[in-house]
Structure 1
Amino acid sequence: MSTPAATIAARLDATKAAILARIPSAKPKVGLVLGSGLGPFADTLQDLVKIPYGELPHLPASKVFGHAGNLCFGKSSNVEVVCMQGRAHAYEGHPLESVVHGVRTMARLGASTILLTNAVGGLVPTWSVGDLMVISDHLNLTGQNVLIGTNEDALGTRFPEMSEAYDLGLRAALHRVAAKHGITLREGVYAGLSGPCFETPAEVRMLQLLGAHAVGMSTVQEVIALRHMRVRVGALSCVTNVAGGTEGNPPTHQEVEETARAKRDELQTLLSGWIAAAGELP
């Protein structure tokens, strides 16, 4: 049974109060969710302050390797930023309300623009491991939706509009930063599955027929929750493995981590430049 929306609001307020008790000046304008292998970007923030998820009420800790589990506050390009250094996943057994509690908390703190990052399996034969992809749209194939249940009008409308779930301006900003630094960016549709197993060859063929360019086990519910709260959302994926059946070698989580580490410099350049651009938005 879904958690009543009033309880969701109370939990958000409790988490926000706990953060402000430790960092009274926390007023982030921009938020980032750092997925598998991408967490080290948070360590580049100026005036960095970290709070482990386990020290905040209602914020679940991820048990997945590569997700440090810290809420990080600081500045990048003189913009106040909050970063989730790793995320919780539904496949770990967390209810969806808990999975999106972190991004909802960032929005509750004042972050009006949020960039989500993730590691994905590539579905396009001509793409390569290590490619970076701006998400233009998604397919929610998890069989779930975080908004099922009683709606709270204070958070958002009963039927949030999703025709531009991934903000055009934020996508354009990523492309501008990439072009400036000579970084190649793909753009495509993200298929969100529940996980935790990787996809079968038949599932890969299905996803390709549906028009997906990459597949992963996160992000979709976060986007739905944020758009419900009228937050501008962008998303950036790192192709860290080839989805099952499209090459001879099956994917592994170690492969995901190693590829993300190899792309760290490019990702940090992209994220820093994107934050500067997002900080200039009204």
Structure 2
Amino acid sequence: MIKLNIKDEASRLKAVVLGSANSNGPTPTLDEAYDPKSKEHIQAGTYPKQADMVKEIEAVAKVFEKYDVKVYRPKEIEDYNQIFTRDIAFVIEDKFIKANILPDRDQEIDAIKHVIDQIPSENIVKFPEDAHVEGGDVMPWNDYIFVGTYRGEDYANYITARTNMKAVTCLQELFPDKKVKSFNLKKSNTEAKDNALHLDCCFQPLGKGKAIIHKEGFLEEEEYQWLVDFFGKENCFHITKEEMYHMNSNVFSISPEVVISEKNFTRLNTWLREQGFTVEEVPYAEIAKQEGLLRCSTLPLVRS
């Protein structure tokens, strides 16, 4: 049995599901792409090659091995993108919450059945069909749950809007003792630099009371300001539009002191080290072309 325990984003990681790129399939057509960044690379002929993505994800597996983290992997589905495990489910406290994800991606959850079978059934939660939610938008942070959403009337027009207010309500009902705080995010189906696909594309809390944030990812200035005030301006690392585009906020904490980051994030990695973090650098620039990075490809199950 797996004894789930996730209270925040940075406590010492004990067990995680790490995505797989072993049988990613051919480059998708433009019609098959779910986000503007993938479309950009399909058009430019720079969409990532499977061999490169396998190398990148295995570099992360090695870091987990170094820190003695138990790693589960999805069962391989032929010609199917299984990199972004964070989208398909997430854990808060001892609850495993299945995401209501884009219908094209239903098979991904079946590929981690061997993991789900080790979780007591009363701890597995599925929200109603009309409560859309993906793990990239949900961040447990002690007494809080931070949730990225899109509140616009035109929600249905955005394939990039993945979590709705119905899901925010469901989270509040499931965790009545926590404060569920939602943030209205900027969405674009066509312009990657104007699209915060998930909350972790424009914000992430770290250990030591620090956070990474991108102001323009938020539609309401006061919601962005709330986060800055919550962490303290001096503790927030502000990333530029270009850095957000390269997914600088999508790093992953193994512990309050250790962060896995992309090796090209020079400015961020320098700042992290100045703040006393150990930075485990990995190559992840190819996977980043699909508008996802390190947090997106991990589904933490147990933190101590």
TM-score (norm 1): 0.32
